[in-house]
Amino acid sequence: MAKRPSVIPVAQPCDQLTREVVDGLRKSPKELSPVWFYDELGSDLFDRICELPEYYLTRTELSIMQAHAADMARQIGPQVAVIEFGSSTGLKTRLLLDQLESPVAYVPVDIAREQLFDTASGLARDYPELRVMPVCADFTQPFDLPKQIAAAQQRVVYFPGSTLGNFTQSQAHRLLSRMHQIAWPNGAVLIGIDLKKDPRMLELAYNDSAGVTAQFNLNALRHLNREVGANFDLHGFKHQAVWAENASRIEMRLISQRDQVVSLGGARIAIKDGEYLLTECCHKYTLDGFAKLAAESQLTVAHVWTDTEQKFSVQLLRPNVPTRS
């Protein structure tokens, strides 16, 4: 093998994580990953968001689960292994597990170790028959499933919370394809999808009057200051959530209140007065639009459960039988 030329060390080495942040901030518009919301304070703030009168998502999804989990369980069938992408407080998961017929395993997959083990140990305590096997991994990247789940009749991927909305079309496609792989041949994907609706209602859900979402958004900067040694001034930015019709998404933005320069990992980023950082995108789908997206990943919508106002949906997807060519 040819010898690699030695790499010239840079004056200010920055690790992979910092590199990614800097790359995002060099785009136009400047971008930050929504993963930066979720440190300990951020997770608490998110729990508070879920309780806000304007934030209909969690409440509506829970009501759909309460009303229809029995039907979902019937369609899913007995002795399944549930693989959850992410690990929430476990409330929705419990509603599902309570109705499933003799589920054999529960495998939450989450990069946030603390949250993962908290949820997992709570469930293991309350469901003694269930094998709870947490996997600490980034679910957007390939990961191994525990060998023990081979005993299950089939695998069901659970992805609640409309978290798929955080991903772009191509990222969502890739993620759904991974889920297809896990569910194939006779399993399923059960996924929570927020639906497109009156933009006023959407903007209110992300610009609450108590200002909790603003704190949640700004906390990403605090997290970055601590984690990658950035020097964002939290008073230099203002939260705003905007409905972008052409992309069918809510954009969470932090608007710079003046010309400023931020340094991190040896890089200096100039931010203009009025310029914004895009911290999260929350795509909203029509039922048709989502069915098309799922179809691109060889998943067919088998059933849709919604609330009476069609604000939110929980959908059961089945992997297609591969067509021979």
Between 103 and 192, CB nearer to ligand AVJ: 192
Instruction: Write down the least CB distance from residue 109 to ligand AVJ, Å.
Output: 16
- What is the secondary structure of 119-173 as a DSSP string? HHHHHHHH-TTSEE--EES-TTS--PPPGGGGGSSEEEEEE-TTGGGGS-HHHHH
Give me the residues that bind ligand AVJ (CB under 6 A), please: 49, 57, 161-163, 165-166, 206, 213, 252, 280, 282
Between 58 and 256, CB nearer to ligand AVJ: 58
Between 194 and 305, CB nearer to ligand AVJ: 194
Amino acid at 4: R
Contacts of 276 (CB under 8 A, 6+ apart): 29, 30, 240, 253, 254, 255, 256
Closest by alpha carbon to 145, among 173, 187, 93, 99?
Answer: 187
**Which DSSP state fits 102?**
S
Which SS3 state, helix, strand or coil, does residue 54 take? coil
Between 105 and 208, CB nearer to ligand AVJ: 208
Instruction: Write down the least CB distance from residue 2 to ligand AVJ, Å.
Output: 46
Instruction: Write down the least CB distance from residue 114 to ligand AVJ, Å.
Output: 17
The β-bridge relationship of strands 188-194 and 154-159 is: parallel
Between 75 and 140, CB nearer to ligand AVJ: 140
Q: Which residues of 170-209 are buried (b: 16+ CB within 10 A; e: fewer)?
A: eebeebbebbbebbbeebbbbbbbbbbbeeeebebbbbbe
Consecutive H or E run containing 319: strand 312-319
Between 104 and 179, CB nearer to ligand AVJ: 179
Closest by alpha carbon to 281, among 149, 127, 126, 167?
Answer: 167
Instruction: Write down the least CB distance from residue 199 to ligand AVJ, Å.
Output: 15
Instruction: Write down the least CB distance from residue 292 to ligand AVJ, Å.
Output: 21
Instruction: Write down the least CB distance from residue 235 to ligand AVJ, Å.
Output: 21
Between 217 and 256, CB nearer to ligand AVJ: 217
Which SS3 state, helix, strand or coil, does residue 30 take? strand
Give the Cα separation of 9 and 15 in Å (integer).
13
Give the Cα separation of 289 and 272 in Å (integer).
36
Tokens encoding 309: 């106002």
Instruction: Write down the least CB distance from residue 283 to ligand AVJ, Å.
Output: 9
Instruction: Write down the least CB distance from residue 215 to ligand AVJ, Å.
Output: 11
Residue number with the smallest Cβ distance to ligand AVJ: 282
Between 41 and 70, CB nearer to ligand AVJ: 41
Number of other CB atoms surrounding residue 53 within 10 Å = 11
Closest by alpha carbon to 253, among 243, 272, 233, 239?
Answer: 239
Between 166 and 298, CB nearer to ligand AVJ: 166
Instruction: Write down the least CB distance from residue 125 to ligand AVJ, Å.
Output: 26
